[in-house]
Amino acid sequence: MPTLQVRDLPEDIYRKLSYLAEKEHRSLAQEAIVLLKEGLENKLSNKGRRKRILDEFAGLGIDTRNLPDPAELIREDRDNR
């Protein structure tokens, strides 16, 4: 199994990791693996979540190619305040 060594870990992150590991009855290494896995899944799932939403729109007969630009909608909303 590969090994990962983290150098210059900020003290506050170490304390938080240590606290969570103790709270979850895990070792520091186990807790770090759990947190890395959750973070990676969350990061990687953003594209999947967007694709799923667009597929749901398409299933409802909504043409997703003609949706307005989100930046323009936000700008318009801010200008109307």
- What confidence tens digit (pLDDT) does each residue in 50-79 have? 888 888 888 888 777 777 888 888 999 899
Biggest alpha carbon distance in the chain? Answer: 56
Please tell me the pTM assigned to this model: 0.56
Asked if 16 and 7 count as a contact pair (C-beta separation under 8 A), the reply is no
CB 30 within 8 A of CB 38: no
Reported confidence tier of residue 45, pLDDT bands at 50, 70, 90: confident
| Residue type (1 letter), 67 | L
